[in-house]
Amino acid sequence: MRQENPQHRLTRIDITDLFMANPPQANMTTMFTPYCMLRLYADLIPELPDCVLYLDTDIVCRRSFSNLYQEPMKDVDIAGVLDHYGKWWFHHKLTWFDYINSGVLLMNLASIRQDGLLVRCRRLIRHRWLFMPDQSALNIIAKSKQILPRKYNEQHKVETDTVFQHFTTSFRFWPRFRIVTVKPWQISAVHQQLGLHEYDDLLNDYRQLAPKLKEVS
């Protein structure tokens, strides 16, 4: 990071105690690991600023996101992009799409800490099983949310203006129906299943850094 900008820094924050004090009991045995729920504890971390951009680990940044981070958040708790598949199945109202994907979230923690959005989300996943627990809880509870342009969380086909590509599970129908789940660190699968070579320079850097990352993990 500092090779790109000396002012960049990475801080690791251990929230094990926060998680164990209020675990998502009803969702601890789902296919989604506890790490998926950690965004729902952001309001409890004093080190985090009033506005946070949350990114899943399977996100690749393609260009500057400074315009997104400067998005006005007045009267809005969270901002996100519609879920590529879920938007068709899950609605609060039938007249418009409002089901967001939680992989890229601009979070107004100043507002969230006041209105208790994440407190209510944690209570929900503690007592009720949910499909995609963190994402479902946010969509069920959040009333003040903003829908962002697709370029900020592209889950399907990358376009020229895509800022974040999200390597989510997708469905393929030709030559036969199949479910495809490929993550950006699965280099062979990225090449062979997705036919994607655009990130080869980045992946080569990752290959060199990976052993060092294991040493400090």
d(CA 71, CA 40): 21
What is the secondary structure of 11-23 as a DSSP string? -----HHHHHHS-
Q: What CATH number should be reported for the domain holding residue 77? A: 3.90.550.10
Instruction: For 57-73, write each residue's pLDDT tens digit.
Output: 999 999 999 999 988 89
pTM for the whole thing?
Answer: 0.89
Coil, strand, or helix at residue 186? coil
Confidence of residue 215 (pLDDT cuts 50, 70, 90): low
Same domain, 33 and 133: yes
Does residue 96 fall inside a structural domain? yes
**Of the candidates 152, 181, 196, which is a domain's last residue?**
152
d(CA 144, CA 101): 15
Mean pLDDT of the chain: 91
Does residue 174 fall inside a structural domain? yes
| Range of the structural domain that residue 195 is part of | 169-216
Beta partners for 154? 165
